[in-house]
Structure 1
Amino acid sequence: MNSICLILAMAPVSLMTLTSAEAATPTPDRWGFEVMVGAGVAPRYSGSDEYTAVPQLGFEVSAPGGWFLGSSGLGWGTSLGERGSVRAYLGGSGSRRDKDALLGGSDYLRGMGEIHTRALAGVDGSVSLGPTLLSASVQYAPKDTDRGDNGLATRQVQLSLEVPLFDVAGGSLSARVSTVYGDAGYMQTWYGVSAAQSARSGFARHTPSAGLSSAGVGLKWVRPISVSSSWFVGVEGNRLLGDAADSPIVQRKTQLGAMGGYQYRW
């Protein structure tokens, strides 16, 4: 299940990736339910050197025929043979505030303006290569004409590879590596500083080009409690790259996150 921070909608670096062991396998012949509750620590925004607590809540309801409704949105998924699956969905994009608040953001960004949540269309796919899981995600958010430089159309592509390592302390440990690519609109939205933003905030102007924005590596430990439930703990480090790392709003290029929680399926 792709969980989402319901309390803290952060920038591209988030704890969301820590809770996604694999894309949920579609079950077209029956109903399915899944919930996840957890908490962790993460940067206030992508590039921040301040950290904040992150309560998390995720859920998903799947219906016969491959339809699902959950934290990632409303969509449809299907299996691709015995090893692959694909899902398409409509949901909401991330957001960022330019002041310290319960929903994230930072006073350091004063004058940058808020990035509001808007409609998002996504496609996720995964394929099992033996015990290794290769996943890809493509997301698109249309332009918000009312938000100026904070409402550009964005396209984001994420690739990840998850490999099981070994069993330890009654659970299984796995490692994950990932990269994120963003188009010019994505990079400008999250890491750029326009002329108007520069005048309000004091940051130097910055116009990033499309390219890789980050690369990450993480570890996750999952301990089954029953056939339907399990505990999990994850840690992840992300390194901002290229024009994203060179942004004047970035205080720290390498960032860490951690969380733990409980997942139940029935």
Structure 2
Amino acid sequence: MSKRKQTARLTLLLTIFVMLTKLLCGAGGASAGNVSSRRIAASGNNSDSNPLPAQTAVEDTYPKVAPASKDWTIRIGAGAILSPAFVGSRDYQLMLVPALKVTYLNTFFASVEDGVGYAVINQNGWRAGPNAKIAFGRKEDGDNPFRIAGGKTSALHGLGNIDTTLEVGGFAEYRWNNISTKIGLRKGVNGHDGLVGDLSVKYTHTNQSLSPMAGLPLVVSFGPRLTVVDATYSKAFFGVDADQAVNSGLPRYSPSGGVLSYGVGSFIVVPISKQLSATFLAGYDHLTGDAGSSPLVSERGSPNQGMFGVLLSYEFGFDSR
């Protein structure tokens, strides 16, 4: 394949990814920042929500179902996810969510849930490199454009809306046999302006005997995870300033940084055909520290956050040469 054709394909794929990301962000999504009463009055109900809070359950470690190995791999699909209306909510909503992922030779990846990244280091079980992603926020009215069932929560009234945040940073991952460990650190360059760190450990097992497709194994993965944030991030999502206290009726609260949550995530990938698969997701996270003690959580929400979902995806690929 000529370099011109390779460049054209790469440009097309990145254009599609950027357009879908912009569509999702414009439809409602972002990270956070403390919002004053003046901003609440100005924004009304037109700013962003957290439409995809559970899609991060499927990370870039998602195993391939198709046996054929291609330079470029593309996965498209959609699914339904039941999760809290916002981080810390006790109200649940059922959402219809899109799924899109593009990878190149286990080095480049781009997806709605993981953002864009490139493994500068990719050897001896190690992968590490820069990563940038869009963090989705929330609407004051408790709604999001992907909601198909479940009522709007009133817990956020008076707290204002939260804008989309671009987070930039890096990741490092090490795999040893069936176990993988991943750490990520990102800084918001707008929106919440905070620092977010993620740590996860996964055990992945493949089983051919339980698979409905000969030659394509059923994949099971599960493991613990931990998220830490700085004070700026914590105040953005869980703090209550003077103006917000007046508008919401909640007491003033200024949280510090630290461990935001700990929990466990799991998924099962069931091959339907060589290119089609169903993924079943489940996860639980417990908000702790100052986030768990926030009046938004203790008075109007819950520190216990569960998630269940199913995704149907189609995977295909092509070689760049």
Q: What is the TM-score when the length of structure 1 is the normalising length?
A: 0.83
Distance 1:159 1:223 in 2: 26
Shift of 1:23: 6.5
Q: Which structure 2 residues correspond to residues 181-260 of structure 1 after superposition, within 5 A?
A: 181-250=228-297, 251-260=301-310
1:158 aligns with 2:205: no
Distance 1:220 1:62 in 2: 20
Q: Say which of 81, 86, 98 aligns to 1:40.
A: 81
- Asked whether the 8 Å contact 1:12–1:46 carries over to 2, the reply is no
Shift of 1:263: 2.7
Q: Which residue of 1 aligns with 2:122?
A: 80
Letter in 1 for 2:200: S
1:106 aligns with 2:153: yes
Q: Tell me the alpha carbon deviations over residues 198-217 of structure 1, each in whole angstroms, 9 at most, x when there is no partner.
A: 11111111111110010011
1:61 aligns with 2:111: no
Higher fraction of strand: 1
Give 3-state SS (helix, strand or coil) of 2:250's partner.
coil
Q: Tell me the alpha carbon deviations over residues 63-83 of structure 1, each in whole angstroms, 9 at most, x when there is no partner.
A: 589555432444433452141
Q: Give the 3 Å change call, closer, same or farther, for CA 55–79 of structure 1 in structure 2.
A: farther
Q: Say which of 17, 20, 31 aligns to 2:59.
A: 20
Q: Give the 3 Å change call, closer, same or farther, for CA 256–82 of structure 1 in structure 2.
A: same
Q: Which residue of 2 aligns with 1:172?
A: 219
Q: Tell me the alpha carbon deviations over residues 172-230 of structure 1, each in whole angstroms, 9 at most, x when there is no partner.
A: 32212100000001111111111121111111111111100100112311112344442
Q: CA RMSD in A?
A: 3.0
Q: Which residue of 1 aligns with 2:179?
A: 132
Q: Mind listing any 5+ residue stretches in structure 2 that lack a counterpart?
A: 1-20, 30-48, 65-69, 212-217, 317-321
Deviates more, 1:239-248 or 1:51-60: 51-60
Determine which structure has more spread, i.e. the larger CA radius of gyration. Answer: 2
Give 3-state SS (helix, strand or coil) of 1:243's partner.
helix
- Asked whether the 8 Å contact 2:142–2:156 carries over to 1, the reply is no
- Asked whether the 8 Å contact 2:53–2:136 carries over to 1, the reply is no
Q: Which residue of 1 aligns with 2:167?
A: 120
Q: Which residue of 2 aligns with 1:94?
A: 136
Identity percentage over the alignment?
22
Q: Which residue of 1 aligns with 2:312?
A: 262
Q: Which residue of 2 aligns with 1:146?
A: none
Q: What is the TM-score when the length of structure 2 is the normalising length?
A: 0.70
Shift of 1:237: 0.8
- Asked whether the 8 Å contact 1:155–1:183 carries over to 2, the reply is yes
> Higher relative contact order by CA 8 Å / sep ≥ 6: 1 or 2?
2
Letter in 2 for 1:46: V
Distance 1:74 1:137 in 2: 13
Distance 2:161 2:272 in 1: 41
| Aligned residue pair count | 253
